[in-house]
Structure 1
């Protein structure tokens, strides 16, 4: 919502101030198609040259996050803590054998199936199951497990941030590409130097539209979108940090409820359930038969 409001304000105030101050918007509109073709075309081309196909595809999906925000809502964090509570409680009370059927085939697990939104996130499910699988193989050193989880998180986080970095690189290039378009306009103007001043003035104005567009797109649109995209990725990454916190706390010998309480501390403030809310959510979970 705020992103849409921001875009409306961006266009309204920038072009509105130009018109109110006596600027001729017709000059910009006349130059816009070919200047946009030069700058936008060069931007898209450089984006394709600089990035791999997975990053290009992920960038398209990442743009939707600019407007929709993080996919994890407060209820999802409560569900994650409840899921981890059930898994660690099962491991403590029934042993690793009782847990194997859940982590080997989570799609048919009576525990995982209670949380369909989490099940849609393949990395979250794999991250939980792979870590618990290490524990069932007698890897019970908390520091070794934490280190292994940290490496997985770093890899995932690096890959998730790639589209945002790619978009930021495009934003950094746009002002220079705007200058390229402006220089082409100046070259065109110099080729018509014998024309009357009013025609030369219009041609120079059209050339300067290229510089304006490059800076406007870079700092008004593409750059802020890249920043927002990376901020969303950072917030979504905290979801996986909670998994690490809870499972490492479990390895340190804490009770399931203590482990998830430690994990609750890693939940972003805007989505963090209170101690009482978490306790009520855990109490409402039916006993695993």
Structure 2
């Protein structure tokens, strides 16, 4: 909701100020300027990024108007980790083999449908539980493996933000390109001596500059920042899972192992000690 309000505020402030200054909205409707700027930006984006990054940007951009990283989601993740660790501690690591081999059919995982919708997170949890069940890796070695994967994961999660930042930085330049082309058209029409047409061409050229700058700083720049925040929150959640599993591998009881994970979480959605305790006891 805050992002929608932000977009409305940008439009209302810019267009409202323009109209109150006796500007006319139709003067800003320059489809060919939009085609130049938007087409050039899209072409540059496709050149600079692999297809996988393009799809990631599209998918994550559509999700920017809501977030799955809520208080309840954090409790669900910690609750899942607690349940699976508690079962392994009571019945042995081999007891969770069926759960981690087919998470969708697992009675434990099926309690958390929101987490099952994220196959990447499910794979992450199950892979490390498999490693832990092998019993051949010391806790510090497990932590080292976590760190190596999280480092590469961090790079991957930040790709969409970096890609959009590159386009945001380029948009003012594409606005200038559109403006220069508008001036070329204007100079070509000077021989006709039609002042109204010349004024229209100059206005269209200036609108190109305006659109490039507005798109960069009013929309694509904030989108890149929002994607960066999303990546940080997702990484923080993986760090919490890592902390809980490493603590369990070190011999810490499940109820305390998830407390290790809780302490890693950002404070914005971090459940309190009593909330987490009541949640895991209730499960």
Question: 1:120: Cα distance to partner?
Answer: 1.8
Match of 2:145 in 1: 148
Aligned to 1:265: 263
**Hey, what does 2:236 align to over in structure 1?**
238
Partner Cα separation in structure 2 for residue 9 and residue 114 of structure 1: 41
Is 1:41 the equivalent of 2:39?
A: yes
Unaligned runs of 5+ in 2: none
* Whole-angstrom CA distance in 2 between matches of 1:90 and 1:25: 65
**Normalised by the size of structure 2, how large is the TM-score?**
0.93
The structural deviation recorded for 1:188 is: 0.9
TM-superposed CA distance for 1:219, in Å, is 0.6
- 1:54 alignment partner in structure 2: 52
Residue 23 of structure 1 aligns to a residue in which SS? coil
**Offset of residue 151 of structure 1:** 2.0
Aligned residues: 282
Taking the aligned partners of 1:215 and 1:169, their CA distance within structure 2 comes to 14
Provide the rounded CA distance (Å) in 2 between the counterparts of 1:22 and 1:75.
49
What displacement does 1:231 show? Answer: 0.8
Preserved CA contact (<8 Å) 1:71 1:236: no
Residue matched to 1:121: 118
Secondary structure of the 1:269 match is: coil
Cross-structure match for 1:99: 96
Q: Which residue of 2 aligns with 1:167?
A: 164
Q: Does residue 205 in structure 1 map to residue 195 in structure 2?
A: no
Q: Is the 8 A contact 1:65 1:229 kept in 2?
A: no
Q: CA deviation at 1:138?
A: 2.0
Which segment drifts farther, 215-224 or 267-276?
Answer: 267-276
Say if 2:21 is the partner of 1:21: yes
Aligned equivalents of 1:220, 1:22: Cα separation in 2: 22
| TM norm structure 1 | 0.92
Partner of 1:254: 252
State the Cα distance separating 1:198 from its structure 2 match: 4.4
Distance 1:4 1:40 in 2: 22
Determine whether 1:8 maps to 2:25.
Answer: no
Q: Which residue of 1 aligns with 2:185?
A: 188
In the superposition, relative to structure 1, how do residues 26 and 282 fare at CA in structure 2: closer, same or farther (>3 Å)? closer
Out of 9-18 and 211-220, give the one that drifted further. 9-18
Query: Aligned partners of 2:24, 2:276: CA distance in 1, in Å?
Result: 60
- How big is the shift at 1:24? 3.7
Distance in structure 2 (CA, Å) of the matches to 1:211 and 1:205: 10
Distance 2:113 2:69 in 1: 13
Residue 64 of structure 2: SS of its match in structure 1?
helix
**CA distance in 2 between partners of 1:21 and 1:113 (Å):** 59
Cα offset, 1:196, TM superposition? 4.4
Give the stretch that moved more between structures: 212-221 or 70-79.
70-79
Structure 1 segments unaligned to the other structure (5+ residues): none
Q: For residues 139-167 of structure 1, give each alpha carbon's deviation from its aligned partner in whole angstroms, at most 9, with x where no partner exists.
A: 33112111111222222332222122111
CA RMSD across the alignment = 1.6
For residues 177-223 of structure 1, the C-alpha deviation after alignment (integer angstroms, 9 at most, x for no partner) is 11111111111111122324444233212211111111111111111
State the Cα distance separating 1:123 from its structure 2 match.
1.5
